[in-house]
Amino acid sequence: MIVIAAAVIGAILGWRRATQLKGNRRDRAQYAVAYALGFAILGLFATIFIERMF
């Protein structure tokens, strides 16, 4: 669940960032995908860390 939530949050943040930079729809989609992947990887590491701690 953490990975999915992180990916969705990352996509939203990426879309907003590209909008602030005045990018077109393709730029926004690219930023959304890149941020989603980055946040999903961070979420994966967080999930692994939490599972190993408990």
Give dist(CA 52, CA 54) in Å, integer. 6
Quote the strand ranges of the chain, DSSP E: none
Give dist(CA 14, CA 18) in Å, integer. 6
Under the banding of pLDDT at 50, 70 and 90, the label for residue 7 is very high
Domain ranges in the chain are 2-53
Q: Is the pTM of this model over 0.85?
A: yes
Residue 6's nearest CA partner among 38, 49, 35, 39 is: 39
- Largest distance between two CA atoms of the chain: 45
pLDDT tens digits, residue range 10-25? Answer: 999 999 999 999 999 9
The residue with tokens 């949050």 is: 9
